[in-house]
Structure 1
């Protein structure tokens, strides 16, 4: 006997995914139309314009890749890197290693610089590596949720430009909740996902590429692209993926609408609504809301006597890593949070697995009631596990942060949501 899909009620306060905004869930349930229906193509064009604003760019090459955020990463790297191309990856957490793996699978000659987890790179270190390696592409994660660190990018575009390199960033964990200015910072390619600060489900990967990056893509036309355009000129090193061939994806989203795949309509609707909601609230206001929620969570766990991991000056707004006290079992506390309170928090990877909990304050959950509820539940779970904590300390500290914040920073349009 089968059963209908009926998930349990959860408050997702880990590093992502998070609870999707109810307006996004409603968009997912709306009717499907054909991929070349005028309404559909108009909605695709609207979505492109929305994400230009979200990314802070005027790039024509701003599209959605149908797949999770990793599909966007792979589309960018596989399409921009030909076998033998040099790529430099500054690694400061798990997802830097992911960029290394994908670039290696693309046949690139991969060079890395590494720093301790919990730290970021000074621009001088990256520049020295670029000068030494002379890469075609520098690929860097903006915010690595495994460590909660946010790598400054505002000077890296100028560094790459001086040495003739392209700059790519994975902004999955940061976009919407932290500043990101693709054009102003000289970023040639950026990819993201919906499931963190954008407040949607995983399954669509917003992506933008600069005109300079588009030129690289056009130099790697695939066999199929040549056939579709009745063009006999095919690159010597075509893009190694068909589905993730970014040149063909741009053609599909471009004015000619050359067929490549059938657009995932429901995910398009969700992505459109994520961007619309963010821009309706205002990019700066959303970043400020995430900053306030992140500060409230950080000061809340500190008021419970817990230590925060990493360089706080370079922490993402939307995730805090908390060192697990020696007298408790980290997974047991996480299980109690889930079973007793319906709240999910995360652990981490690699050298931080079992050493920290990761608490997220992002998207629809970057709001006061979610932060306070999580801190109250964490205090209770710690006390039940035998760890002494100041009664009410975390909640009071978080409320003090909110009391001191601007009255314009608070909740993501909850009145509209409940209407």
Structure 2
């Protein structure tokens, strides 16, 4: 007979890759809290409370600020499939893997998708985005803020006004950046934005915060509805149905709104975890959390440079929370990552596409944006690099990082 496995017992890990990262302990504690019924007053009050917390996280007054049950990709798909009508022109500026993802999801929503690209490691000047808007005349612009595949942070602060000027809906995926880099949904003119918990927000993957402007909600509400799952064959307006039940934002907003119309069973434990992620961020302070990510990101950057590693990409537009470093010649990238994991319990990331096998990605985000995590990672990385005969300065990484901390009065 097959034996029944024992209780789950994950090994101790320090997750210093591009995400997921080690969650805040209190987030894991919150997720173990007792379940209640879906319409228990405590449950509905917690949903309302979580909405208000995330309005503050996003920097918005949008009523339509909720959670999508699913990973960050669920949030992306909910936004795009609900905002895009078949045949709509959608413009996606691509500067990394996740721009390609937005374009793919827009295609699946039956949009006419147009892309512009810059080499990985760069971002778009606003003038290039405006030029593309004038040429394409899109209904929607889909733009990643922070792309962990390249570690670049696309400036958004002027894009909203540009979209408003040309009558374009503005959507951004902030999965990798929200919480560790500035994001101002209202001030920057966002119509829709989505994220996930597993990066700077310091939680597990499985819940996707989303916020929608009044204009976006009006568009979603204007889409055709399927009553009791029935519509007549040959309906000339069939193209206007949102082609998903689970990701139909009109239905999800009704569920989270004052009427609490049944749509799905809310993922209660994930709700608790998402609430705690937002509570911790606001308790520390939005600006203070961004400053913490900036400090520890700068220490990690100085540290890998102190080890003699070459940093990939335009450093003027790097996210605070992740750095990509060129794998030294002669060092087997995957074997070195394995040694970091097996010998030190530290995970760093590989990369995708044109950067696969060329760079490692090292994150300092959420709970792991702290001094001991940075120094442990740099010390372990130095040991592993020496094992593979890479020329590194003794204590070069730790000393350089400590120099950043000293200059900050730490």
* TM-score bucket of the superposed structures, by smaller chain: over 0.9
* Counterpart selection for 2:25 from 12, 16, 22: 22
Is 1:97 the counterpart of 2:107? The answer is no
> Is the CA contact (8 Å cut-off) linking 1:13 and 1:361 kept in structure 2?
yes
- Aligned counterparts, 1:354-365, within 5 A: 354-365=357-368
* Shift of residue 224, structure 1, vs aligned partner: 4.0
* Shift of residue 225, structure 1, vs aligned partner: 7.9
- Aligned with 2:240: secondary structure? coil
> Is the CA contact (8 Å cut-off) linking 1:140 and 1:169 kept in structure 2?
yes
Q: Distance in 2 between matches of 1:226 and 1:202?
A: 31
Query: For each residue in 1:42-78, what CA deviation from the matched residue of structure 2 results, as whole angstroms up to 9, or x when unmatched?
Result: 0000000000000000000000000000000000000
- Other-structure match for 1:123: 126
- Aligned counterparts, 1:30-49, within 5 A: 30-49=33-52
Is 1:262 the counterpart of 2:265? The answer is yes
Q: Distance in 2 between matches of 1:203 and 1:236?
A: 30
Is 1:314 the counterpart of 2:317? The answer is yes
* Shift of residue 99, structure 1, vs aligned partner: 0.3
Is 1:345 the counterpart of 2:351? The answer is no
Q: Distance in 2 between matches of 1:343 and 1:29?
A: 25
> Is the CA contact (8 Å cut-off) linking 1:35 and 1:263 kept in structure 2?
yes
- Other-structure match for 2:58: 55
- Other-structure match for 1:414: none
Q: Distance in 2 between matches of 1:284 and 1:204?
A: 23
* Shift of residue 404, structure 1, vs aligned partner: 1.4
Q: Cα 1:20–1:186, aligned 2, differ >3 Å: closer, same or farther? A: same
* Shift of residue 327, structure 1, vs aligned partner: 1.6
Query: For each residue in 1:365-417, what CA deviation from the matched residue of structure 2 results, as whole angstroms up to 9, or x when unmatched?
Result: 0000000000000000000111121010100111111111255xxxxxxxxxx
- Other-structure match for 2:386: 383
Is 1:163 the counterpart of 2:166? The answer is yes
Query: For each residue in 1:278-315, what CA deviation from the matched residue of structure 2 results, as whole angstroms up to 9, or x when unmatched?
Result: 00000000000000111000000001000000000000
* Shift of residue 226, structure 1, vs aligned partner: 9.3
* Shift of residue 274, structure 1, vs aligned partner: 0.2
> Is the CA contact (8 Å cut-off) linking 2:142 and 2:172 kept in structure 1?
yes
* Shift of residue 235, structure 1, vs aligned partner: 7.3
* Shift of residue 236, structure 1, vs aligned partner: 5.5
> Is the CA contact (8 Å cut-off) linking 1:221 and 1:247 kept in structure 2?
no
* Counterpart selection for 2:145 from 142, 146, 168: 142
Query: For each residue in 1:215-249, what CA deviation from the matched residue of structure 2 results, as whole angstroms up to 9, or x when unmatched?
Result: 1001114214899xxxxxx8761100000001110
* Shift of residue 166, structure 1, vs aligned partner: 0.5
Is 1:295 the counterpart of 2:298? The answer is yes
Q: Distance in 1 between matches of 2:394 and 2:94?
A: 40
* Counterpart selection for 1:278 from 272, 277, 281: 281
* Counterpart selection for 1:8 from 7, 11, 19: 11
Q: TM-score, normalised by structure 1?
A: 0.94
Q: What is the aligned length?
A: 401
Is 1:403 the counterpart of 2:398? The answer is no
- Other-structure match for 1:188: 191
> Is the CA contact (8 Å cut-off) linking 2:68 and 2:208 kept in structure 1?
yes
> Is the CA contact (8 Å cut-off) linking 2:326 and 2:360 kept in structure 1?
yes
- Aligned with 2:35: secondary structure? coil
Q: Distance in 1 between matches of 2:228 and 2:367?
A: 40
> Is the CA contact (8 Å cut-off) linking 1:225 and 1:248 kept in structure 2?
no
- Other-structure match for 1:66: 69
Q: Cα 1:406–1:41, aligned 2, differ >3 Å: closer, same or farther? A: farther
Q: TM-score, normalised by structure 2?
A: 0.96
Q: Cα 1:261–1:15, aligned 2, differ >3 Å: closer, same or farther? A: same
Q: Distance in 2 between matches of 1:17 and 1:92?
A: 21
- Other-structure match for 2:233: none
- Other-structure match for 2:178: 175
* Shift of residue 149, structure 1, vs aligned partner: 0.2
> Is the CA contact (8 Å cut-off) linking 1:154 and 1:185 kept in structure 2?
yes
